[in-house]
Amino acid sequence: MKKQIIATLIVIIAVAAIIASGVPVLYAQTDVQTLSLKSGFNFVSFTVSPALTPGELQQANSTLIEDIYLYSSAAGSFLSLSEGTLSSVAAGKGYIVKSKAAGTVTVQGPAVTSVPDISMKAGFNLVGISVSVTSVAFSELLKGNSALKGLYKWSAAAGSFISVVKDSGGTPQALDGVDPKFNYGESYFMNLIADTVLSFAGGAISFNGGSVPAAVEAPVITPAGG
């Protein structure tokens, strides 16, 4: 116990000495992200590194948040807060927040300034846009990346996906007559031909890997309680 007290005093004295010397003390900067939720499923990505765990976030917003889901591309299934399989959240990943009603939730934490390259699996991957990226339409990204088969944006109003996919000739087709763009703080399903790597370097969405487009599929949302 005495050693702990002495160690604490040394730290306090050291900090006081730094302040007295005029050397600036740097603190982690906290930012705030506001999630505008609609009743039902909301596809989000965290633009801050949340200070709270998923459980704490739900408890702090119990009138709105019913559950939080993460899609595991390796398992081909969902992890969820309610089932005890989702214990943390991170930048660069996509999450589905099931809300009991429309409302806003604020999330605090250090701002996300970069996201490491992400290993992607063949098939469906739920990807979050946690950093600012160059505005690009789904069809543009599909044209420029052979690894991609299809891109999907959830429409809370319609309760279904807005889909842009490659046909048998590799040409992007907007199946719903809409060609969405990627938005900061949102998440999207990406359907891939093969394992690849996703990068946000330089503010661009790019892939390393992939080959010839395969048959088109559509994601199915079946999280527990959905």
Stated pTM of the model:
0.79
Return the DSSP state at 25: P
- Full pLDDT tens readout for the chain, 226 residues: 444 444 443 333 333 343 344 433 333 468 999 999 999 999 999 999 999 999 999 999 999 999 999 999 988 899 999 999 999 998 779 999 999 999 999 999 999 999 999 999 999 999 999 999 999 999 999 998 999 999 999 999 899 999 999 999 999 999 999 999 999 999 999 999 999 999 999 999 999 854 333 334 556 666 655 4
Q: What pLDDT is attached to residue 91?
A: 79
Q: What pLDDT is attached to residue 30?
A: 83
Q: What pLDDT is attached to residue 118?
A: 93
Q: What pLDDT is attached to residue 224?
A: 56
Q: Which two tokens stand for residue 190?
A: 């990406």
Write down the residue that tokens 């250090």 correspond to.
Answer: 110
Q: What pLDDT is attached to residue 225?
A: 54
Residues 129 and 44: their CA atoms lie apart, in Å, by 8
Amino acid identity at 197:
V
If you count them, how many residues does the chain have? Answer: 226
Q: Give the torsion sign (CA, 168, 169, 171, 173).
A: negative
